[in-house]
Amino acid sequence: MLQPGGKNSIIIVGGANVAWPRLEDGISRLTSNAQHLITRAGAVLLQREIPDAVNLEAAKIAKGADVPVIMDAGGAEGPIPDELLKCVTVLSPNETELARLTSMPTNSLEEILQAATKVQEMGVKQVLVKMGENGSVLVCDGAPPIFQPALLAPVVVDTTGAGDTFTAAYTVALIESQTPAEALRFAAASASLCVRTKGTIPSMPERKAVLQLLKEHPVAAESLSMSDEEGLKTIEGANSKAN
C-alpha cells in the first residue's frame, strides 16, 4: 500500500510461496537441477517470503559448495532459526528488522552497531544494515564498519522494492569482485534510482543508469572508528553532501 511521500506498507498473501511440501525421509524440496544450480552459483540471495526450512536447505547446499549466502531479512517478522543464520554470509536487515531480530534498540548509530555485533554472535559473518535516507552500514569481523551515505533522490515516488534492489545490487557487485565499499556505492545508487519510479519490478534499474548516477554522485563509503555522536554527525554531513 503506497503512502504519501513514497513510503509503503506491505500485506503478504503467501499463496504458492508457502505451499512447499514437508521434508520427509530425507527427500529434498528442491529439484536436483535447482541443487546443481545452487552449487554453481556466484552467490545465493534469499529472503523470507518463503518458509525458513526451504531457505535453510538452499543455504546448506550453498555453504557446502563454498557459495556465499546473502539473506535479506525482510518478508517475515518471526525469528530467524539459528541453524539458518550459521549458513548466512551476509544478513541484510533494515533498522526495524535488526531491532526485531536482536530485541535491541536501533535508534542511533551506536545502537545499530551493537545490534549488528549481536547478530554476528549468532553466527553471521557480515551484517549489512539498510538505514533508508540515512544510508547503510556494513559490519564485518576484523574490520572497521563501513558507512555508505544515501544517494538521495530528487523526488521519492515509491520506496517499495528499494531494500530488495539494494541487497540484490550489493550481491551483484560482490560476484563481480568489487570491494565491499564499491559494492555499497553500487547498491546505494541502485536503490536511489528504484525509489524514483512507481512499482517494484519496473523500478529496478539497469546497470547503465546505475553507472551514470555514480558518475554524477561520487560519494564514497568510509570506515567508521568513532564515537556514536561523531558517527551521527558523519552520517548527517555525508547525506547533506549526497543531497
| CA atoms of 79 and 22, how far apart (whole Å) | 20
164 is catalytic: yes
Cα(first)–Cα(last) distance of the chain, in Å? Answer: 27
What one-character-per-residue DSSP string does 18-59 give? G-PPPP-TT--SS-HHHHHHHHT-S-EEE-TTS-HHHHHHHH
Are β-strands 90-92 and 146-148 bridged in parallel, bridged antiparallel, or unpaired? Answer: unpaired
Write the single-letter amino acid at 212. Answer: Q
Name the E strands within the chain: 44-46, 69-72, 90-92, 126-130, 136-140, 146-148, 222-223
| CA atoms of 62 and 175, how far apart (whole Å) | 14
| CA atoms of 56 and 183, how far apart (whole Å) | 25
Which position among 52, 66, 82, 164 bears the catalytic label? 164
- What amino acid positions are annotated as catalytic residues? 164
